[in-house]
Amino acid sequence: MNGRIALVTGAGGGIGTAVARLLAEQGATVVGVDLDRDRLSATVEKLTADGLPVQGRPVDVTSSAEVEAVVAAVEGESGPIDYLVNAAGVLRLAEAGQLSDEDWNATFAVNNTGVFYMSRAVVNRMIPRRRGALVTVVSNAAGTARTQMSAYAASKAAATAFTKCLGLEVARHNIRCNLVAPGSTDTPMLHGMHTDGAAVAASVAGNPAAYRTGIPLGKVARPQDVAHAVRFLLSDEAAHVTMHTLTVDGGATLGAPT
């Protein structure tokens, strides 16, 4: 990945930060974007202190204008974007009948529309160069029903379908579009689901009353586990892989397709 330019959304924390670090360690110049300016700044400061080529740009991925502006700026100042990782995401928990309009719209705005805006802006610049790779981070919930997660699961399913359709359309331009579908991962999003601090234990054990299996490997993923899957799908090692979903959930969905 030496000399490549990677744009990573949601880089201010969790999986996005792990992806930014790993790609930079692999020699890529990473531009991380995130809505949370303070969190992004702290992440970039930490990674650059470790000697990694990472810069940050605060961006609202739900704004088409902001997305177009940042992609143009990155290409103008850093060079052609070789890799895009859509890792920004939000989770709103509630049973479907109790979701507010704002919950639903905000979830789709980030998890689906943001993927569309960013993918469109980057891929349209990759096409004339006839090269590039994109990975969208979705969820194993995109293909497995979860209680209180209808908005999140539906948005991730939509992002999955969009990324695969995009991959079909741009394959003739030598551009690959793949997906990574994590299960429970040790991130702030997971811990926010359990106010009693039992997020990891609850994820591993499962919840039969909610028709949720546990995790056969007996542990939740680390953000680095997901980042390694992303790196593989971006890399030349996956040169003949496109429109594929790589599930990283410790067996929680029992091998069901995502």
Q: Residue 82 domain-assigned?
A: yes
75-84 burial: b if 16+ Cβ within 10 Å, else e: beebeebbbb
Task: Let me know whether 12 and 30 are in one domain.
Answer: yes
pTM of the predicted structure, to 2 decimals? 0.95
Task: Let me know whether 98 and 198 are in one domain.
Answer: no
Q: What is the pLDDT of residues 122-156, one digit of tens each?
A: 999 999 999 999 999 999 999 999 999 999 999 99
CATH of the domain at 238: 3.40.50.720
Task: Let me know whether 100 and 200 are in one domain.
Answer: no
Largest Cα separation within the chain, whole Å, is 53
C-alpha distances (whole Å) from 75 to each of 69, 104, 201 are: 10, 33, 44
Q: What is the pLDDT of residues 33-91, one digit of tens each?
A: 999 999 999 999 999 999 999 999 999 999 999 999 999 999 999 999 999 999 999 99
Q: Residue 255 domain-assigned?
A: no
Q: What is the pLDDT of residues 215-227, one digit of tens each?
A: 999 999 899 999 9
Q: Residue 205 domain-assigned?
A: yes
Q: What is the pLDDT of residues 80-121, one digit of tens each?
A: 999 999 999 999 999 999 999 999 999 999 999 999 999 999
- The tally of domains found in the chain comes to 2
Q: Residue 199 domain-assigned?
A: yes
Task: Let me know whether 207 and 120 are in one domain.
Answer: no
Catalytic residues: 152
| CA 31 – CA 54 distance, rounded (Å) | 6
Range(s) of the domain holding residue 199: 188-220
Task: Let me know whether 109 and 215 are in one domain.
Answer: no
Q: Residue 146 domain-assigned?
A: yes
**Taking Cα atoms as reference points, which of 172, 192, 251 lies closest to residue 219?**
251
Q: For position 189, what pLDDT does the model report?
A: 81
Q: For position 129, what pLDDT does the model report?
A: 98
Q: What is the pLDDT of residues 168-203, one digit of tens each?
A: 999 999 999 999 999 988 887 877 776 666 888 888
